[in-house]
Structure 1
Amino acid sequence: MNWTTLVSAPDLLARLGAPGLVLVDCRNVAGGADTQGGREAWKQAHLPGAGHAHLDEDLSDKRKPASEGRHPLPDAEAFAAVLGRLGIGPDDQVVAYDAGDGSMAAARLWWLLRLCGHARVAVLDGGLAAWQAIGGPMDASTPKARPPYPLRLDLSRVARVEEVQSRLGEAPGWLLDARPAPRFRGEVEPLDPVAGHIPGARNRPLQDNLVDGRFKPAARLREEFEALLAGRAPGEVVLSCGSGVTACHNLLAMEHAGLHGARIFAASWSGWVSDRSRPVATGD
């Protein structure tokens, strides 16, 4: 096994139980006060042996300041302990999944593991819905914990606010925003104190990466992203969203399409507007 972006439900089923395969359930309730709904669903049933990763508690560090966004990067030592609890070691093949509603939290875990230098990590294409559609087994077993993962987060692969500010004068195509179009245009803003987008950004809603809940073919994704990049190399591109979660979905889509090297602005829109002196754009 050497899955590094996506894996289909039939392919995963064929290797279920293989040595070194670690599954992680990333189901989380997005928004609202019920942040434990995903964990409670995991307790009832999940892919065999899968542990659960909570978006707020395991894949973020909510203690950090507003300038780091609504889902700040987790502390490296704490995240190493989380990976150990999930049974993940440096040589394992990890497959993350969520409910099948876009694989947002699963893509976040995928990205964080890549920041740790862990290449053999993939997202279950179509999530739990795709697994259940082929009759994949479920149980309530849990992984065997391991020592903390020996990691060091590679922050050179994370775009910082200073870089974003320095590039505001560039022609559009260097920054892609994964939020829904009405939020990008500034027509609505249910989560952050200011509506709109970073000047110069182009909109690539994560749902544009999907057809019937699964990722589009790699060739089609490549064609669509190259049209947005306007001739730029992928390594020159920064990906943003509301809080650094759904941007991971666009990165996963680009990597699956063979467009390697884009980086994520981890603080994203929520971190950007924590300083009200920063410019804001609205409209398309």
Structure 2
Amino acid sequence: MNTPDWRVVLAPQALAAGLGASDVVVVDCRASLADPDAGERAWRAAHIPGARHAHLERDLSRRGPAGEGRHPWPLAATFTERLGTWGVSRDTRVVAYDDGDGAFAARLWCLLHMLGHARVSVLDGGWAAWTQLGLPQESAAPVVVATRYEGTFDASRLLDSAGVQAHLARGGLLLDARASERFRGEVEPIDAIAGHVPGAVNRPYAANLEGGRFRPAAQLRGEFEALLDGRAPHALVAMCGSGVTACHHLLAMAHAGLPGASLYTGSWSGWIGDPGRPIATGAG
């Protein structure tokens, strides 16, 4: 059975209607930065029927050398092998979800997007919306028929620290998705040094949401176009603390019809890996 042409951000009712289709794979991306195994425990307790679990540290990131941040981008060969064990092929419609705001699900969306996988959506409102609507859930692990997935990431849209410096020198926009107080350097609950990359602009990823759901596409488009100030979407590079929640901005822009932005994979935790790099504090 073929699914309808689902959008980047998918309503729970639309997924519920398509559950069980042979071309649909649901992936549970629930996670906690404070407790790396909390998401897997939650998945084992209950999940959307058929959902596989993606572990933030093992599946959506990798252990990398110093300077690549807290959640280094995975190697294409390792990630595509994981897709195969989940039963994902190039023709699969993938739906990612997390607890609610899409911050972790957007990471899987971004990984697939950078592989050129067009048929991938994030569940609007995530597990919270699904359960509030009383939609089906189960605790049994799904029976998966493994497949083979081949592909490479679009390296031109995955920037390291040197690439970010060059991007800023060309007049590009660097958009930081962290909370404003972290951007300003007033607090830093995770990383060793507070502040932001000089020249970056702050827009917390939570600004893409309203009531736990994504804001209307037209509204988001207007807000991102104002930030771009006449520049094309590819002039924007998103960052955050470790390259995870920054993916939320890429997702929101695609939802708004503005695809093509890039990701600073190491983000703030990668930037401060070199003590020689400059650091800014305050609002600008």
What interval of TM-score do these two structures reach, taking the shorter chain for normalisation? over 0.9
> Matched residue of 2:67: which SS?
helix
Which residue of 2 is the match for residue 58 of structure 1? 59
User: Do 1:177 and 1:247's aligned partners in 2 also have CA atoms closer than 8 Å?
Assistant: yes
1:13 paired to 2:16: yes
Runs of 4+ in structure 1 deviating by more than 3 angstroms, as ranges, are: 167-171
List per-residue Cα deviations over 1:201-240 (Å, max 9, x = no partner).
1111011000011000001101111122222111111111
- How far has the Cα of 1:168 moved from its partner? 3.7
1:273 paired to 2:272: yes
Give the AA of the match of 1:40.
R
User: Do 1:169 and 1:200's aligned partners in 2 also have CA atoms closer than 8 Å?
Assistant: no
Matches within 5 A, 1:7-46: 7-29=10-32, 31-32=33-34, 34-46=35-47
List per-residue Cα deviations over 1:3-59 (Å, max 9, x = no partner).
351100111111121220110000111x22x21111011011100010100001110
CA distance in 2, matches of 1:168, 1:275: 18
CA distance in 2, matches of 1:61, 1:145: 25
CA distance in 2, matches of 1:217, 1:123: 15
Which residue of 1 is the match for residue 49 of structure 2? 48
Which residue of 2 is the match for residue 147 of structure 1? 147
Give the AA of the match of 2:166.
S
> Matched residue of 2:279: which SS?
coil
- How far has the Cα of 1:145 moved from its partner? 3.9
Query: What is the number of residues matched between the two proteins?
Result: 279
Q: % of aligned pairs identical?
A: 54
Which residue of 2 is the match for residue 195 of structure 1? 194
Give the AA of the match of 2:55.
H
Which residues of structure 1 form unaligned runs of 5+? none
- How far has the Cα of 1:260 moved from its partner? 1.6
CA distance in 2, matches of 1:283, 1:225: 22
Which residue of 2 is the match for residue 255 of structure 1? 254
Taking structure 2 as the reference length, what is the TM-score of the superposition?
0.94
> Matched residue of 2:104: which SS?
helix
User: Do 1:126 and 1:214's aligned partners in 2 also have CA atoms closer than 8 Å?
Assistant: yes
1:162 paired to 2:170: no
- How far has the Cα of 1:147 moved from its partner? 3.0
Q: Over aligned residues, Cα RMSD in angstroms?
A: 1.4
Taking structure 1 as the reference length, what is the TM-score of the superposition?
0.94
Which residue of 2 is the match for residue 72 of structure 1? 72
> Matched residue of 2:94: which SS?
strand
Matches within 5 A, 1:195-274: 195-274=194-273
User: Do 2:168 and 2:174's aligned partners in 1 also have CA atoms closer than 8 Å?
Assistant: no
Matches within 5 A, 1:104-115: 104-115=103-114
- How far has the Cα of 1:73 moved from its partner? 0.8
